Structure 1
Amino acid sequence: MGTPCSIALILLPGFSLYTLGAVRSVFALANEVEGEPLYRLRQYSAEGESASTQCGLTLAAEPLEQLHAEQGGLLLLIADERSDERLGVASSHRLAQLLQRFGQDSGWTVGASGTGAQLLAQHGLLDGYRAAIDWQIQAEAAKRYPDNVFTTGLFEIDRNRISAGAGAAVTDMLLHWLGKRHGSIFAAEVAVALGLERMRGGDERQPVPASSQPAVGSARLKDALELMAANLAEPLPAEDIAQLVGVSRRQLERLFRQHLDTLPSRYYLELRLKHARRQLKQTTLSILQVGLVCGFTSGSHFSTTYRNYFGYTPREERARHTMPLVETDNAGEDIE
C-alpha cells in the first residue's frame, strides 16, 4: 500500500459547511471504493486555530503555519464569500506566502471552490490558466484581473490548477479530477456511491437562481437572463443585451412581457437588488461597497432604491439579520 495523497483544505472566513461536507465525502468514498486510504485530508484555517462558517459556527482547524509541502498533493481553498475582504492583514500575508510556495511546487495541484479563484488570481496563481468562479462575482473578477480567463462553467481543470463555481460544482470537479488520476470507471463508482445519476461536465453553465429562470422556455430570453446575472456590477443597457442575444429592443421587451410579465429594466433592477440583499446578509462589505458591486453609482441612490423596493434601507436590512453567534461543542449541543 502506497502513501496516501495529501489533501490540504484551506477554510476561509464564511465558508459553507455544505461545500466542506461535499469535499470530504468525495474523498472518503474514494478511499472506500478503493478499499484502502488513497487520500489523507487535513483542514487548515487562515484565521488561526479555528474557522468561521457561513452560518456562524466555528470549526477547529490547524493554523496555516503547520501546513508544509510534503510529497505533493492537492491544496484546495474553500471559500463561499468575499474572503479577500474578511481576512485580516496578518492572515492575508500568511495565506499569500503559502499560496506562492505551493503554487511554485510542481508536485502540488492548487485549486479553489466558490469565490476562492479570485484569491488565486490575486496572488498570480492563475496567470495563463482558465478558472471557474462563483457566477455572482464572475464579472467583477474578470474586470479586476483582465489577464485571467474566468469562465461561466461549473468547473475548470487546467493542468495543475482546478477551480469550481458555487455549491455542488465542487463535487463534479473532484470527480473529474479523480477520473484523471484513477480512470473514468473509478470516478463513476465514486459518483454512484454519492448517489449521483451522472457526472456533470465542466462546460455546463452554473445555474442561476430560480427567480432568474423564465416561466416558459425561450432560448433568447434565457441568454438575456444569463447576461444580466453575469453583469450586475456594471449593468448592460437594454440595447446591448438585445443586440447580444440577436433581437431588437422591442422584441426583447415583448419576450419579457410574454414570459415574465415585466420589462427588462424592471427585471434587471430586481435582480441587482436581490443580489444586494444577499450581500448585506452574507458579507462584511460596507453598504457603499455593496451598492457599487450591484451597479449603483452612489450610496444615496442605492439606499433610496433599496427602500422603495423592500420597504426598509440597506442599513436596516443588515441590522435585521445581525444575530449573535452560537458555537457548538463536540456533542452537538448549543453553547450560549
Structure 2
Amino acid sequence: MQQLELSRLAQEAPLRVLLVHAGEPDSLTWSGLVQPLRLAAKVLGPERLHVDVRTPDKFAADQRHWHLVLLVADEAEAGLRPANLRTVVSRCRAAPCWGGVGAGVLWLAEAGALNGARAALPWSLYPDVDMRADQALLSPHLYEIDGARLTSCGGAASIDFALTLVDLLFGATVQAQVKEILCVDRVRGPDERQRVALQARFGVLQPKLTEAVTLMEANIEEPLSTDDIAQLAGVSRRQLERLFKQYLGSLPSRYYLELRLQRARQLLRDTNYSIVQVGLMCGFSSGSHFSTAFGALFGNTPREERQRKLSQ
C-alpha cells in the first residue's frame, strides 16, 4: 500500500512537497527532515522535485496545490498548537499524501485526522493523548507510512523518515547520493522501534500493557502462556492481544519471544555461560529451536554470536 500511494506521486513533475513548520528552526526534528529533502531537490533539479516551507498562518491562507504536505514541530512544542489548527489540518488533508512529524502527529490525531491509521507518535507525548487522539493506532515505530497518511516520531528519526521517502519516491540511486552528502551510512527501517523504557512510554496510559510486559520480563527462564499473562494482568486474551497489536505492533507471543532472544544475545555477549545454558536460561528446552529462532531474529546463530564476542 505504501509503495502504491507514493509511487503515484513519483509520476508528478515536478513533485510539490510542502513542509508546514510550526516549531523552532534549529530543532533536530526539523533539520533532520528538511535537509535530506532539500538535497534530494538539488540532486533531481526543479523539474522533478520542489520543496517549500510555510508557517501555519501562511499555509492556512495558501490555496496552491501540493502533492505531499507534512505538519512539523518538535515534541517539546506539543503544547504550542497553532491557533488555526483546524484550518491547517483541513488544508493538509486536501493533499494526495499528508501527515505529521513530531508534535504534528499529536495535533493531527487530536483533530481526528488519523482515526484508524497507524501513527508513529513520539513516546514522550503518549501521556498527552486524549480519547479522540486514541482513535489512531499509535505505534512505537520510528515512522509509519499507512496509505496516504505519513507520520514520524521526529528527532533523529526524521532523517531516516526523509531518506525513506526519497527512496520510495525517486529510487535507491537518488537516496544513495543524498546519504553520501549527509555522511549517512544506514537508514533505519519503518519496523524499528523507539528505544525507550516501556514504563516511560505507557505506564500511565496503559497500565495493563505495562503489567503484562513486566510479567514477561520476570519470567524469562520459564515462560508463561499468553492465557496466563492475560489472567494475571486482569484482562481477556483478546484484549491483551489488541493492546499489544495497537501499542507495540506485535502479538504477545511474538513480543515475548523477542524479549527472550534479546536476553539470550546479551548473555552470549556478556557472560561465559555455554550456549546450551543460555538457551535454558531464556526458556528454550530445545537447542535447535533456540538456534532457529535466534537466527530468524538476528541473522546469525548463537554460536556465531559467541564467536563474534571471542574475536573482539
TM bucket, shorter chain: 0.5 to 0.7
Q: Give the aligned partner of residue 22 of structure 1.
A: 32
Match of 1:96 among 74, 86, 102: 86
Asked whether the 8 Å contact 2:110–2:130 carries over to 1, the reply is no
Secondary structure of the 2:186 match is coil
Structure 1 residue corresponding to 2:110, chosen from 118, 122, 130: 122
Match of 1:67 among 62, 67, 72: 62
Q: Which of 174, 188, 206 is the equivalent residue of 2:162?
A: 174
Give the CA RMSD over aligned residues. Answer: 3.0
3-state SS in 1 of match to 2:100: strand
Whole-Å Cα distance in 2 between the matches of residues 27 and 137 of structure 1? 26
Q: Which residue of 2 aligns with 1:243?
A: 215
Report the secondary structure of 1:117's partner residue: helix
Name the CA distance, whole Å, in 2 between partners of 1:134 and 1:123: 17
Residue 150 of structure 1 aligns to a residue whose secondary structure is strand
Shift in Å, 1:116 = 1.4
TM-score, normalised to structure 1, is 0.54
Q: Distance in 1 between matches of 2:189 and 2:106?
A: 22
Partner in structure 1 of residue 79 of structure 2: 85
| Conserved 8 A contact 2:41-2:50 | no
Contact persistence 2:23–2:72 (CA under 8 A): no
Distance 1:243 1:150 in 2: 23
2:178 corresponds, among 169, 180, 190, to: 190
Query: Which of 138, 142, 145 is the aligned partner of 1:150?
Result: 138
User: How far 1:19 moved relative to its partner?
Assistant: 2.5
Indicate yes or no: 2:191 matched with 1:203.
yes
The question of whether the paired residues in 2 share the 8 Å contact of 1:15 and 1:79 is answered with: no
Shift of 1:83: 4.8
Indicate if the aligned counterparts of 1:15 and 1:80 stay in contact, CA closer than 8 A. no
- How far 1:16 moved relative to its partner? 5.0
Distance of 1:42 and 1:239 partners within structure 2: 45
Match of 1:259 in 2: none
Amino acid in structure 2 at the alignment position of 1:186: V
Question: Residue deviations 1:115-173, cap 9 Å, x none?
Answer: 21111112222122111011111354386533210111110011111111131111111
Equivalent residue for 1:40, pick from 50, 59, 73: 50
* Structure 2: tracts of 5 or more residues without a match: 1-11, 221-312
Q: For 2:206 and 2:117, how far apart are their aligned partners in 1?
A: 27
Relative distance call for 1:239 and 1:28 in structure 2 (3 A) is closer
Q: CA deviation at 1:80?
A: 1.3
Q: Could you list the runs of 5+ residues in structure 1 that have no partner in the other structure?
A: 49-62, 209-225, 249-336
Q: Is the 8 A contact 2:110 2:132 kept in 1?
A: no
SS for the counterpart of 2:17 is: strand
Q: How has the CA–CA distance of structure 1 residues 15 and 203 changed in structure 2, closer, same or farther, with 3 Å as cutoff?
A: farther
Residue of structure 2 in register with 1:278 after alignment: none
Q: Which residue of 2 aligns with 1:318?
A: none
Paired residue type of 1:30: A
Q: Residue 85 of structure 1: SS of its match in structure 2?
A: coil
1:86–1:132: structure 2 CA closer, same or farther, 3 Å change rule? same
Matched, 1:76 2:48: no
* 1: CA distance, partners of 2:122 / 2:192: 14
- Contact 1:14/1:81, CA 8 A, preserved across alignment: no
- 2:21 corresponds to: 11
Aligned equivalents of 1:12, 1:193: Cα separation in 2:
27
1:242 partner letter: T
Q: 1 or 2, which has the higher helix percentage? A: 2
Identical counterparts, % of pairs: 25
Distance 1:165 1:242 in 2: 25
Write the distance in 1 (CA, Å) between the matches of 2:141 and 2:211: 26
CA gap 1:31/1:10 in 2 versus in 1, 3 angstroms: closer
